[in-house]
Every structure is written in structure tokens, then in C-alpha cells.
Amino acid sequence: MSRLRAFLVHLSLSAAVVGSGFAIVFFVWYPQPYFEVVGAWYLIRILFIVDVVLGPLLTFIVFKSGKPGLKFDLTVIALVQVAALVYGATIIYQERPYYMVFAVDRFELVARKDLDLTQIKYDALEEKPWIGAVHVFAKLPEDPEALAKFTEEVVFEGKPDLERRPEFWHLYAEHASEASAQARDLHDLLQDDESTAKKASRVIEKYESDHARLGYLPLLGRTSNFAVVLDMDTGEKLEVLDIDPYQLIIDRQESPE
């Protein structure tokens, strides 16, 4: 076998294995829009480089038909690739969006590993769908003393904020109307720039016949923010738009009247 053929065989096998893994990532662990919202590409780019680029490249460098110790060299390369794949897949799995939490006036995606799971009060919040995230409503304490204690813990003691405190979590379905009450009218986006108006118009045409009022709330992402489209009467989540509600506020303030 020639060096080039060995490289191509290794590249094909690596691409097939990693491609299958990426399919699970894209369609099961991080289905759209979660992949983009959490910036998952940063999690998989090193895995891609090691398993699809460096592995076959090392084979190309060390391969020489009949070379003493060639099997050992190829075995070491394969083991490094497998180790990188297992380690990378474990990290990606642990970081996957498990909960989509409404807190105060926005949604956030939270990984299960970042939580104290012993504080979860509802069995239903443990039942993650095969694809997608568990929807959660996080509510601040109503008791003034409890609220003051929570604020002190977050501000002065560095404890997690509301979206990562399961002791304050409730079933989203039972509080959906409270979330939708914070939403802005989706039709307001039709007055913004052409790209934003076009995206909003598409969603309005898609859902307005079945949902009397459509609104949107921010969804905080790792590198940019998005807009969650809701039925304002029921709080049902309909879609996620690639629109940053916070940037829109800035743009509106800076635009001439």
C-alpha cells in the first residue's frame, strides 16, 4: 500500500466515525437552535482537528510499506485518536443543553452538570425528552427575608444565579402565562431593519393563523443572543429566531428619530 493510499484510507475511516458522532451531536444532543445558541462549535473543533486532520496526517508521515515498527506506530496513532474521541464526546455530552430556564425576563440554557440536582423538587423536571431540553420556570422567593438572603448569596457569596438554582424551579407549564406576560409583541420587529423584519414576518405568517398573539423573549447564548417566539396567551414556545433582542434595543436608541 502506498503512503497516499494509507492516508486516504485513514482519512475515510476517521471521517466516517467522527461524522457519525457529529450527527448525534447535531440532531440529538444539540438540535437546532441549541447548537448555535450555546456555541457548540468551540466544543467540537479540537475533536475534529485531532481525529479527522492530525490522525490521517500522522499516518501519511510515518507510513512506509515494510517499515519496521509500522504496526506499532499506527496503533499508537489509532489509540490517541480513540482517546481524543472518547474524551471529547464525554465533554460534549456533559455540556449539552439539558434545561431551558425562564428566569425573570429571559430564557437561558443550562447543562445538567452545572446544577445541584438534589435541589430539584419535581420529578417531571428529571424527565428530559430524547431531543430538546426540559422547560423550567425559575421564580424568585416571595418572602422578603428569603429574597434578601438569595440576593446576598448571589452578589456577595458568588453562588449561582436564579437559572442555576433548582430549589427555585417550577414546572414551566404551570407558570407559562407569567413568562409570556414579559414578552414583547412580535409585530414590533417589523419596524426594525430589513433582515429582522423579514425573519419576524416569516414567523408571523407561519403561526399567526393558529395563535392569536405572538411575542418574543431573549434567549441568552454563549456568544450572541436569540429570540424565543411565544404564544402570548398560553406561553407556549414556538420557535427560536436568530435575532438579538438586546442589540435591537441598542440599535433603536442609536438610530435617528
Looking at the structure, do residues 102 and 82 belong to the same domain, yes or no?
no
With 70 as the cut, is the pLDDT of residue 256 above it? no
53 and 86 co-located in one domain: yes
pLDDT above 70 (res 204): yes
- Are residues 133 and 156 located together in one domain of the fold? yes
Summarize the confidence of residues 215-231 as an average pLDDT. Answer: 90
Q: According to the model, what pLDDT value does residue 101 have?
A: 95
For residue 15, the tally of other CB atoms under 10 A from its CB is: 15
pLDDT at 35: 85
What average pLDDT does the segment 233-250 reach?
89
229 and 147 within one domain:
no
Asked whether residue 198 falls in the same domain as residue 233, the answer is yes
How would residue 169 be classed by pLDDT, with cut points 50, 70 and 90? very high
What would the mean pLDDT of 58-85 be, rounded to a whole number? Answer: 85
Q: Which residues contact 54 (CB under 8 A, 6 or more apart)?
A: none
pLDDT class of 174 with cuts at 50, 70, 90: very high
Name the domain boundary from 146, 179, 212: 179
- Asked if residue 75 and residue 56 are part of one domain, the reply reads yes
Same domain, 137 and 191: no
Are residues 75 and 122 located together in one domain of the fold? no
pLDDT tens readout for residues 51-69: 788 888 888 888 888 788 8
Q: Residue 255: pLDDT above 70?
A: no
Q: Are residues 9 and 91 in the same domain?
A: yes
List all residues 6 or more positions away from 81 whose beta carbon is below 8 Å from its beta carbon. 14, 50, 51, 55
Using 50, 70 and 90 to split pLDDT, how confident is the model at 165?
very high
Residue 66: its pLDDT value, please? 78
Q: What is the mean pLDDT of residues 199-218?
A: 90
User: Are 132 and 83 found together in one domain?
Assistant: no
3-state secondary structure 101-161: EEECCEEEEEEHHHCCHHHCCCHHHHCCCCCCCEEEEECCCCCHHHHHHHHHHHHCCCCCC
Do 187 and 168 belong together in one domain? Answer: no
pLDDT tops 60 at residue 257:
no
Counting the structural domains of the chain, the total is 3
Q: 74: which residues sit within 8 A by CB, 6+ positions away?
A: 59, 62, 63
d(C-alpha 256, C-alpha 227), whole Å: 24
pLDDT at position 59 is 85
Mean pLDDT score of the chain = 88
pLDDT band at 200 (very low <50, low <70, confident <90, very high): very high
Domain extent at residue 43: 3-95
Both 91 and 24 in one domain: the answer is yes
What is the rounded average pLDDT of the residues 200-206? 93
Residue 4 has pLDDT above 60, yes or no: yes
The residue among 179, 213, 237 that closes a domain is: 179
CA angle, residues 163, 164, 168, in degrees to nearest 5: 70
> 120: exposed, middle or buried (C-beta count within 10 Å: 0-12, 13-18, 19+)?
middle
Q: Which of 95, 118, 133 is the last residue of a domain?
A: 95
